[in-house]
Structure 1
Amino acid sequence: MASHKNARLDGQVCAERASRMVASRPRVPEARGRVGATACRVARIVASVAIAAVLSAPAAAQVTPGQVIDRSNADLVEDLVSPGVLWAVRNGMDLRIVPYRRIGLPAAYEKATEKYSAQCSIGKRGELLNWVAGRPFPVVDPNDPEAARKIMYNFERTHYFNDDLNMHLVDADTGGLYVDAKGRRHYQVERHFVADWLRVLQFIGRIYHDPRPAFEDNPDETFRKSGLYPLIEPFDLKGVGGISYRYLDLLKQDDTWLYLPSLRRVRRMSSAQRSDALFGQDIDVDSYGGYAGQIPWFDWKLLGEKPMLASLHGERLPPEPCEKDGGMTFCEVWEKRPSVYVIEGRPKVPNYAYSKRMIYVDKETYFVVYSDLYDQNGELWKVVMQSIRTSKRPNPNVAYEYDEERMFIYAFTVIDMQLMHGTRAAIPGMAFPDEAGWYIDIGFDQPQSADVDWFGVSGLIRAGR
């Protein structure tokens, strides 16, 4: 565990700092010094070239299993990764190339898809209609005007989880990246975070445990409820947590509440604030899992599909920080996926932090493998990279496994390329190698389960005291 003797605050000082962190959006400053200016120029050039490559659909570059892609040969993958991922490779993240492996659907999810998908459609306001369970659109015609929206709904209604999701002991580090006089990268950790639980409970689309396929008793009329609480570290944020409700009416804004123990109050967040980074980290609420916002909040456009690299068969838990960038990213195995959708999303929500999200969705699994975020000037700002493990065991070191393969986002990295700052997270945390970490679709009667009351404001406050 990281020491936080210097981070301790007391009383009102802590409260004011926490409040400011919640309210403020990460600014887009002028580039800091020679390194920052160079980073911004490189980010702009790389972004323009890579997006043009997607639109012109050139022949895919050749990479082979056994290769290691690093700064010295990064040009080999210029057409196989996003501009943000390419930036990370050129700044010290290595990609170890392994053979492609097909990923099948869980049997219950596939059965639900066959049973219900034919009745699904898109409404006049972009909402998903008549969905019960499974994948709403198993076949997407790229010429369909609603193709991008259908892909995003396939992602949102994925087989990642269907009834409930329970992640234990999530940890994260946040800090700055600097380059010394010899060109070596260093990641200076500023803060270390540990959260006890991240949970999601789904009220419709359920396929494993009763009530199926939906809760009859759903007075809040929610699609799903989620929560991340309480924080265990750092000391000055101990007990902080949040819950969020997404409603059956997809055009209704989410409700999100944040509990600040030092203020003894619950703060409500607006939809625009969901794009704000919290507590000095680089990730925002809407970037979790690739995209956690509402689908109707954005105008979506399918730019194309092509083979791209992605990390879907991670081997190491805890994940291994990269050496050449000082440990800001994780060096995991990557494979060439046969087809990845390139989706552009532009927000309809006023005062949203980003002008657009470029989201890369693996066609076979409908998982977001990475996404690039652009500032209001249209310049590349951040990249979100997900390390995914497909296995019966979420943690290869722990004898906890499922009957069939499931997919686990066991690590992710968010890099602010304009500020040379990054956040890396591991699930379970790197300090907890003997924790399974992932408890998916387990129902209400397991030791790791939570009841409906856990997702209420009263439960949030109790845990934070």
Structure 2
Amino acid sequence: MSGLLIAAMMAAILVLNTSVLRAEESAVPAGTVITSQNWQQYKQYMPDGMVAMFAGTVYWKFPQDIQFEVGPTQHYAPPKPYLDNTEKYSRQVNIINLPNGGHSITGYVAGLPFPNPSEPLKGWKLLVDNWYTYVPYNLCTAGWYFMFEDRLHNISHDTGVIVYRRLSFISDVGSPINDPKAQGVDYAEFLQLITPEQARYTTELTLYYTNPAKAEDQFLFIPSLRRSLRVSSQARCSPLFGSDYTYDDTRTGDFNGGIARFDAAYLGEKDILAFLPEQNDAAFADLNNYYPNLSFPKPALGKWQIRSTWKIDIHRVPSEARGYCYSRRVNYMDKDLYVGVWGDLYDSQGKLWKSTYSPIWNASLPGEGKHMVFGGASTIWDQQAEHLSLTIFENAQDRLMYSQDCSNYHGTDYNNVRKYSSISGLAEILR
């Protein structure tokens, strides 16, 4: 590793540790309870969408009895293989320009692509880091719960199975960097409905490729037709199973759009309140632990932290922007996790449309110990259509599992690549 890269990484660590220390010393003391009466004292630590919900200028607003319990700011590090791969391979990453006016990378192997992002293209480099942030090579659950609520507080819900599989660029103990069965796929997202009965076995599969300039392939298995249909890459704004999430919203860090069709402007640094619960248990499946008619987590689910973030404005490159749903997505990206912990989404006129917090919790990973990764719950509030969607990733019987634990999930092998992470598996659903 070159001396220059070592110095850059040490500088990044020093900046990160200094910002965390500052948050602990001078921001919001642990034990503070933020309410509807005192929230303006802490307004400077809130994303714009959160401010609007406290101020009551949007449809979905915080109730009078809202409470944010603030805990101490913690430091989180990814597993050692991810750090090792960052040190070993990040200097090989190069940026290339694409014909559509966007950018891509070459030379990426594993770990963090840009451990010390700087100008030019700092915002886009942060977006790339977000895209390749650490995730376990598999996360699987048969306890997925999806709840929808409209302005009249009518509620409906779905349940199902999720298998999110990293097949390339892996940084887990005992795993190769590239799965032998990857066949050029980086990441596979498998989502299958179990209820309601009339939609049972409806399945969505998206394949993202190791070449980030290659558009993802998306398929929808429709049980009544007993076959799968290819979904156009232009349908990224479509609602996921009728929810307020689009296909570009559903990934760790609330962004799922890839790096080749998007750019990102760096807007600066900001310390914000973020929900990073230390516990990971079935309390998340208890709807009594969410404020009614808002689906916002109560203190029973965990404390909020003051987190040092980079604020970036994510948007389609001009050649890809026509007809796209969002004019921009303002993402508050945690400096430890390289993940957006809160997102505000704006319509084509630049007006606030949706806000969401990311599903992250401190989970025990096989062979890795505890790490802050995808899990828990997330809510997205559509302030214009006056809808909301809550997604919870486990229940008391069907927990969210990771990596090799997915090989025997109540007798099911969710690490079966052919069945759950490839198009051939869709043909076997009703057999």
TM-score between the two structures when normalised by the length of structure 2: 0.81
What amino acid is aligned across from residue 350 of structure 2 in structure 1? G
In structure 2, the partner of 1:145 is 120
- Residue 417 (structure 1) aligned to one of 359, 383, 389: 383
In structure 1, the partner of 2:258 is 294
- Residue 166 (structure 2) aligned to one of 198, 201, 211: 201
- Taking the aligned partners of 1:242 and 1:421, their CA distance within structure 2 comes to 22
CA shift in 2, pair 1:310/1:201, >3 Å:
same
- Secondary structure of the 2:50 match is helix
Offset at residue 62 of structure 1 (A): 4.4
CA shift in 2, pair 1:62/1:224, >3 Å:
closer
- Taking the aligned partners of 2:325 and 2:39, their CA distance within structure 1 comes to 30
Query: Deviations 1:19-69 (Å, cap 9, x if unpaired)?
Result: xxxxxxxxxxxxxxxxxxxxxxxxxxxxxxxxxxxxxxxxx9943222222
- Residue 330 (structure 1) aligned to one of 282, 297, 300: 297
CA shift in 2, pair 1:440/1:79, >3 Å:
farther
**Uncovered stretches (5+) of structure 1, i.e. residues with no partner:** 1-59, 179-186, 394-400
Query: Deviations 1:192-227 (Å, cap 9, x if unpaired)?
Result: 1111233323233354344x22245554x2222221
In structure 1, the partner of 2:148 is 174
- Taking the aligned partners of 1:94 and 1:463, their CA distance within structure 2 comes to 44
Offset at residue 442 of structure 1 (A): 5.0
In structure 2, the partner of 1:182 is none
Say whether residues 1:121 and 2:90 are aligned partners: no
Is the contact made by 1:383 and 1:416 (CA closer than 8 Å) also made in structure 2?
yes
- Taking the aligned partners of 2:362 and 2:241, their CA distance within structure 1 comes to 31
CA shift in 2, pair 1:83/1:254, >3 Å:
same
Query: Deviations 1:66-89 (Å, cap 9, x if unpaired)?
Result: 222232223233222222233344
Say whether residues 1:262 and 2:234 are aligned partners: no
For residues 201-350 of structure 1, the aligned pairs below 5 Å read 201-210=166-175, 212-215=176-179, 218-219=182-183, 221-229=184-192, 231-289=193-251, 290-315=254-279, 317-319=282-284, 321=287, 324-331=291-298, 332-337=302-307, 339-348=308-317, 349=320, 350=322
Query: Deviations 1:167-203 (Å, cap 9, x if unpaired)?
Result: 332111001245xxxxxxxx431x2111123332323
Offset at residue 441 of structure 1 (A): 5.5
CA shift in 2, pair 1:412/1:130, >3 Å:
same
| Count of matched residue pairs | 380
Say whether residues 1:361 and 2:333 are aligned partners: yes
In structure 2, the partner of 1:405 is 370
CA shift in 2, pair 1:317/1:207, >3 Å:
closer
Offset at residue 420 of structure 1 (A): 1.8
CA shift in 2, pair 1:459/1:387, >3 Å:
closer
What amino acid is aligned across from residue 93 of structure 2 in structure 1? C
- Taking the aligned partners of 1:269 and 1:94, their CA distance within structure 2 comes to 42
- Residue 383 (structure 1) aligned to one of 351, 355, 380: 355
In structure 2, the partner of 1:457 is 423
For residues 440-455 of structure 1, the aligned pairs below 5 Å read 440=403, 448-454=413-419, 455=421
Is the contact made by 1:169 and 1:427 (CA closer than 8 Å) also made in structure 2?
yes
Is the contact made by 1:206 and 1:214 (CA closer than 8 Å) also made in structure 2?
no
RMSD between superposed Cα atoms in Å: 2.5
CA shift in 2, pair 1:137/1:267, >3 Å:
same
Offset at residue 402 of structure 1 (A): 5.1
- Secondary structure of the 1:301 match is strand
- Taking the aligned partners of 2:340 and 2:236, their CA distance within structure 1 comes to 19
In structure 1, the partner of 2:18 is none
Is the contact made by 1:312 and 1:334 (CA closer than 8 Å) also made in structure 2?
yes
Is the contact made by 2:408 and 2:414 (CA closer than 8 Å) also made in structure 1?
yes
Is the contact made by 2:162 and 2:189 (CA closer than 8 Å) also made in structure 1?
no
Offset at residue 258 of structure 1 (A): 0.7
- Taking the aligned partners of 2:237 and 2:290, their CA distance within structure 1 comes to 30
- Secondary structure of the 1:294 match is coil
In structure 2, the partner of 1:135 is 112
- Taking the aligned partners of 1:128 and 1:246, their CA distance within structure 2 comes to 15
CA shift in 2, pair 1:369/1:114, >3 Å:
same
Query: Deviations 1:283-319 (Å, cap 9, x if unpaired)?
Result: 1111012111111111211101121111112436332
CA shift in 2, pair 1:282/1:443, >3 Å:
closer
Say whether residues 1:65 and 2:30 are aligned partners: yes
TM-score between the two structures when normalised by the length of structure 1: 0.75
CA shift in 2, pair 1:260/1:129, >3 Å:
same
Is the contact made by 1:176 and 1:420 (CA closer than 8 Å) also made in structure 2?
yes
- Taking the aligned partners of 1:63 and 1:165, their CA distance within structure 2 comes to 34
- Taking the aligned partners of 1:103 and 1:65, their CA distance within structure 2 comes to 17
Offset at residue 392 of structure 1 (A): 2.4
- Secondary structure of the 1:360 match is strand
Query: Deviations 1:320-345 (Å, cap 9, x if unpaired)?
Result: 656655352222421001x2011101
Is the contact made by 1:381 and 1:417 (CA closer than 8 Å) also made in structure 2?
yes
CA shift in 2, pair 1:301/1:363, >3 Å:
same
- Taking the aligned partners of 1:243 and 1:420, their CA distance within structure 2 comes to 28
Is the contact made by 1:61 and 1:80 (CA closer than 8 Å) also made in structure 2?
no
- Taking the aligned partners of 2:392 and 2:91, their CA distance within structure 1 comes to 38
Say whether residues 1:427 and 2:393 are aligned partners: yes
